[in-house]
Structure 1
Amino acid sequence: MWKKGSIKVQDSIIRYWIKCYERGSKFGINEGRISKLMLKCDGEIVANYDRGWDMKPADEETKFALSLLLKEYN
């Protein structure tokens, strides 16, 4: 269920923690399989989803990392 790792985007390393299920649900991102997600860059949270967006990705690097994770896990 829990996945963690890191993605290098340009000069930044974005670390991620994801809780995903075998099936999508109304609580998942875009009703997908990811129900919890946290992205950190330089020790700071840059995006957080916990059955809803607490903090949406604000910059292009974070949005790109999120798009890769959605493609793989959602």
Structure 2
Amino acid sequence: MWQEGSIGIPVDKATGKSYITIHYALKVYDEPSEFGINHGKISKLELRQDGEIVANYDRGWDICPTTKEAELALYILLNRHN
């Protein structure tokens, strides 16, 4: 099943922002798979930050998370869906 949404990642107030938004699209299955992230249920994932792709997984990493916010969003999604 495909899912889309956004995650707000808190940031240091010195930046002038209270959070950074990470938009995600993912394909998640009912059961874990050898093709899923860490052999889990997410087989496809795209993360965008400020309109740029900051992570992409399609049965393997095309783009590993490139920002700390993308890494945090990935951990949140893995926790939620695995």
TM-score normalised by structure 1 residue count: 0.95
- Alignment partner of 1:65 is 2:66: no
Q: Which residue of 1 aligns with 2:9?
A: 9
Q: How many residues align?
A: 74
- Alignment partner of 1:21 is 2:21: no
Residue 60 of structure 1: how far off its partner (Å): 1.4
Q: Deviations over 1:7-65 (max 9, x none)?
A: 00122100000101000111000000000000001110000000000001122111111
Query: Highest CA radius of gyration, 1 or 2?
Result: 2
Q: Which residue of 2 aligns with 1:52?
A: 60
Unmatched segments (≥5 aa) in structure 2? 11-18
Unmatched segments (≥5 aa) in structure 1? none
Q: Which residue of 1 aligns with 2:44?
A: 36
Distance 1:48 1:33 in 2: 15
Q: Which residue of 1 aligns with 2:16?
A: none
**SS of corresponding position for 2:26:** strand
Moved over 3 A (4+): none
Distance 2:67 2:22 in 1: 12
